[in-house]
Amino acid sequence: MELTEDDRAVILGALIEAAAKLRATDGAEHEQVVAIWRRRGRRAFGEDDVGSR
């Protein structure tokens, strides 16, 4: 939030870009991107990287 000065349009734009990236990937690459984002998200929430989805 600090990097975008709480600009919700920027945050939404980043999410739209992420969705476009997922649409452009398939198979193993798609799964790899999702796994990386999941690990980063869990770390940001202070969760373990171990466990199920």
User: Residue 5: pLDDT above 80?
Assistant: no
* Rounded-to-integer distance, Cα 41 and Cα 49, Å: 9
Angle at 41 between CA 39 and CA 43, to 5 degrees: 70
Split at pLDDT 50, 70, 90, the class of 2 is low
pLDDT tens digits, one per residue of 11-51: 899 999 999 999 999 999 999 999 999 999 999 899 865 55
Judge contact between 4 and 11, C-beta under 8 A. yes
| pTM, 2 dp | 0.68
What pLDDT, on the 0 to 100 scale, is given for residue 40? 93
